[in-house]
Structure formats: structure tokens, C-alpha cells
Chains A and B, each alone.
Chain A
Amino acid sequence: MNPVLLSNQKLLPTALAAAVAAVLATTPIMAQAEGKLSIYHWFEYIPQTLLDKFSSEYGVEVTMDTYDSNESLLASLKAGKLGSYDVAVPGDYMVQIMAEGGLLDTVAEGELANAANIEEQWLNVPFDNGRKYSIPYQWGSTSFSVNRDVYQGDISSTDILFDPPAELAGKINMLDSQGEVMVLASLHLGMEQCSQDREKLKELDALLQGAKQHWASFGSDIAKDVLVSGDAAAGMIYNGFSAKAREEGANLEYAYPDEGYVVWMDNVVLLKDAPNRDNAIKFMDFLLEPENIAAVTNFAQYSAGVTGVAEFLDPALASSPEANPPTGPAGSFVAVCDQATQEVYDQLWTRLRK
């Protein structure tokens, strides 16, 4: 009944498509009928049953498009999609960038009936202090997983990615996500993020250039499949995504390396010029109900940022190795660098891929 449109945004944005999008953006958007909600979301990140539930509870027709990185979300909103979606789900640092770029609408105090359900530790977050623009969706970590059939040795170090053992060399998939690759590489070298220390940056460049020969591919949406199919024997991956790969039959172990790892939180935001603002607020409230957000956690195998979810969770999750980091160093959020610094990191990334 409710057509949920999943489109692969990866196909569209050639230069020309971007241009066409920019041209089409000047066309006035028709006033949308009541009872609609347009979601812009990550791939494979919400169960269809939950969308159906929202649909039938509120009599709202839900449509969804997907993206595969925070950066492509930003790019397509900037290229003219702003005004066609109601909500999106950017990661932590992207909430800050989007808020600073004026792409978000504020949620007034008292507008969300279930705001009190947000866990204390996720209220005053650095990327959205006081939760003016966003509510928690899921949080998790990014490091890497190793196929234990291929390699049985120690995987507690980022050496697995940057100086791998012979069994894994040439069989590693990296996420096509500049921010997260840079954080793991920086942790490997023990340098801080957004560093302006030229010697350190040259070291970082040398590390990436040297490690490249060991990597087979770059890809985010393929990260799970290449590990399941055996195309890759190790790969950078998100913790829940790795758990799903393990469930699909790969003998994978997700590592929480000693050098540290990336933590992230995805957040539901209200987009500026949302065509169905009221329904967007309803949807955000819906996702703050423990039972509903627990359904997302059961599906995606990350963690919710809402109180009272425990009783709705799949019991297997409580003992899932991916969802329970060992005691050790805490993870780091991806930091937002200033323009001059970011440009140096952008260059390192292009040099890596040339």
C-alpha cells in the first residue's frame, strides 16, 4: 500500500546529474498533500515493518530515499534536494556541519512529547548541545573485522589495517569514508585529529601511501557483502554491520583495537523547509518510544540512545560481542576541522586514491 522508494543515490551524482539536479531545484516544489512523510536515510538501517507501523498508526504515506555517506547526504541537500525531504539521519559531526550550514530546522522545547526519553548522556552532546536540532537514532563504533578462518592471530591492533600480516595483505576492504579512515590512521600513529603539525601530517601521508598496497578495495555499502562472500578477508566496518555479516555465516571477529576506534551517533534531524513538518515531528516522537527504537536496534544491531529499550531488545544482543566493547580505550568521535586543515586532509585522500 505504501510505496517505499529505495533509490541508490550512488548512481545519480555524476557531474551532469548534479547539474540537472541544480537546474530542477529552481522548479517550485508542489505543495504536498497532507498525510505524507518523506525520509532521507542510510541504506539498510530501518526495518520496513516499523515504517508500516508508523504509516498505519498515523495514516501517513511514507516514502524513503537512501544515501551511503554523510557527505553524499550533505551534497545532495546542497544540490537542491532541501525542501523535498522532512527528516534525515546524519552522523554526529554532520549534524554540526548541517546546523552551521543552515540546513536544519530547530525543534522547539516541548514540541516532542517523548523528549524526556533521551538518555542523560546523549542530551548535551558536543555536536548539538541541548538537542536543539536532533534526537538520537542509533550509536555504535567503527573499526574492523577479520575472517577467523583466514587469520587466527592477534587482531587487537590497527596494524591489521595499516601493516597487515601476510594472510590478510591484499584482501582488505576499507570504508569509502574519508573521516573514519583518517581517524583510524591517526589513532594508529598516535596523533590527534585535525592536526596542523606538518611533520605528523607527512607521516600520515606516508602511512596511507604505504598501506594502500595491502588494500583490495574501497566501499561502504559493500562492506558487509565482501566479508560474507569472502572477497575480503578483513575489512573496516561498523560494529552492527559486522554482527549482521556474522549472522549471515561469515566467521568474523570484530576488533576493538588498543589504539582506539571511532564512535559515532546517528541522529534524526528535522530538515529546513520540510514539506510535512507536523508529520516529521510525529515521526521523531514515534522513534523516541522505546518499543519502536528497539525495533531499529534489533534490526541494525547498534545501540539506541533512549531509556527503557532494554525490555524490548532481542536477548541475543545483550551477549553480542560487537555490541559490548571490552574495557580499554574509549572510542573517538570524528572531529570537525577548520577549512584550511580539512583541505590538507582532502589532499591526502586524493593522493591516496590517485
Chain B
Amino acid sequence: MAGTIGGRTVSSTYAPVRGWLLLPSWAVIGVFLLLPMLLMLVYSFLTKEFRGGVIWEFSLAAYDQFIFDRGLFGDEAPSIEWTYITIFVRSIVQALLATVLCLLIGFPTAYYVATRPARTRALWLFLITIPYWVNLLIRTVSMKFLIRDNGPFNEALLGLGLIDAPFQLVNTNLAVQLGLFYSYLPFMVLPIYASMERYNASLSEAAADLYATRWQILRRVIIPVIKPGIVAGCILVFVPSLGAFLAPDLLGGAKTFMIGSLIEEQFKGNAGNWPFGAAASMILLSMVLVVLMLYARSQAKEL
């Protein structure tokens, strides 16, 4: 998109400065992102030390453990290990659902806000971001207070006579969904809003003049134009949902592992298997990268 803007002359004007301006970002990314990731990659190929830590010997044991099941005592013929695949699939489904939910609610919200007069827009955006000044942990715990069996939500429904027994939400997948949805909703609203704000309303008018129905305008005109915002929103919701462990722990009861809690357990739990935790992180990372690369390629083709 940006590649078409600015000819050679423009970029050469700034060429001497440009590299230096990026240095702080590269330093931060390098020290706090690339270096730790590299460390994890190395750790995933090392031998585990009993009760946490690594021994500096090359080993594929971590990946082997992920893929092959050798029975409880480790001496049976290897078969496919379903334990970790189950955990991954569960987390992916959960993250996808959270993304869809955020999109269904976030899109109309962004549309509404973007079509308000400029003065009230700022107010709407402010209202959307206000709750997110509060720490995520506190918001998640508060949500638990609201939805628990004898919390206000159930008390109200009982009081209105809509239900006879408390509707059990805490420690269910539904509660986890709700938590993820609430945690990441603004990540969906804000990018869509940013695209929507630049949307030229006369395009809709032109389509209407050509006898397009409202549905056709939305599907054939608006969505294609603001697609980058939608995709950015989906990625921003899907990726953190995939590794989330606060909502599953607090609202879902931590009864079953998610990817995040499985990895956490390898580092601070009883298992203390750092190479395996690193390998699981690497597998998760690769999956996310593949999705992002497929998207980037499909974008490149369209251009």
C-alpha cells in the first residue's frame, strides 16, 4: 500500500536519517523479542534437567514428547500423542470463537462510531477505551464476581423470575469466551474504526445510485475497502487469545490446560520441563507465523 507513495527522490532525501531513526525500535525488538525467542529456540533442542533447567546437550526429546506417545512408562511402541494436540486444538477453537465474537460485536460498533459527527466520535472512542485503563487481572476478577452463582447477574435473573436456579457460568467454557471477548474487544474495534474513518461515504452513495441493496453495499463496497482493518483486528484478537491463560485460569477454573497454561506449567509447575515448554512455544509460534505468512502472500497476490 505504502510502496506506491513517494518516488525515488523523496526517499533519497531522507535516506541518511532513515536507518538511524529505526535504531531504538530495532534495539527494543532485538533485546526483548528476538533474543528471548532465539533463547527459546535453543532451549527447545536441549536436554531437560530434572526439576527445571537445561543441560547443554543437543536433544530432540522435547519435540518427540509432543508428537509421540510411548505409554505411561515410556516403553511401549510409539503412537501418536493426542494429549498436546487436544490442548492445541481446544485453544485454537477458543481463540477463533473469541475472534468471531469480537468481529460480530466490534464491526457494528466501529461502524456506528465512525459514522458519528467528528465531535462525538472522540467521546465514543474515549468511552470504549476507559475500562482498559484498569489492569486486566482486576477486570477478569471483577467479571468473576459479576457472573458467579450468587453474584449480581444471577441475583437479577432470579429476582426477575427468569430462572429458577442460578445459571452456572463460572468455571465453564462460556465464561472463558466471555472473558476473552471482553479482554480483546477494543483490539477489534480500534483498527476497524481507523479504516472506517477514512472510508469515503460517497462510495456508498454511488453504489446506491447504481441500485445496490444495503446488503450489497456492505458486502461489495464497504467490507472490501476496510478489509485491512478487519484483518488487523482479527489478528490482534486471535493471537493473544491463543496464548491467554488469565481468563481460562480465573473464569474457566483451570481444570483443563490451554496452550498458555500448558507452557506455564513446564516452567513453574511440578513438571519443570523447560525444553518441552520451549518446544511447545516454538510450535505455537510457527503456527502463528504460518497463518501470518499465508495472509501476507494472499495480500501480495491481490496487489
Contacts and interface: CB of A to CB of B under 8 A. Distances in A.
B228 interface: no
Given A219-B249, A339-B50, A349-B270, A201 B39 contact: no
Given A13-B268, A351-B83, A353-B257, A78 B52 contact: yes
Interface in A194-230: 198, 201-202, 205, 212, 215-219, 222, 229-230
25 contacts: A13-B267, A14-B245, A18-B274, A19-B39, A23-B35, A69-B268, A74-B51, A74-B272, A75-B267, A75-B268, A176-B254, A178-B270, A198-B73, A201-B72, A201-B73, A216-B253, A218-B253, A219-B253, A231-B148, A347-B72, A350-B265, A351-B83, A353-B255, A354-B83, A354-B84
B36 A20 contact: yes
Contacts of B87: 354
B277 interface: yes
A231 B250 CA distance: 12
Nearest to A13: B268
Interface of A: 8-11, 13-16, 18-20, 22-23, 69, 71-72, 74-76, 78-79, 97, 101, 173, 176, 178-179, 198, 201-202, 205, 212, 215-219, 222, 229-231, 339, 342-351, 353-354
A291 to B, nearest CB: 35
Contacts of A201: 72-73
Contacts of B271: 346, 349-350
A217 B268 contact: no
A230 B150 contact: yes
B59 interface: no
Main secondary structure of the interface of B (DSSP, over half): helix
Contact of A19 (B37, B246, B268): B37
B287 interface: no
Contact of A15 (B150, B170, B278): B278
A176 B52 CA distance: 18
A97 B39 CA distance: 26
A346 B87 CA distance: 16
A78 B53 contact: yes
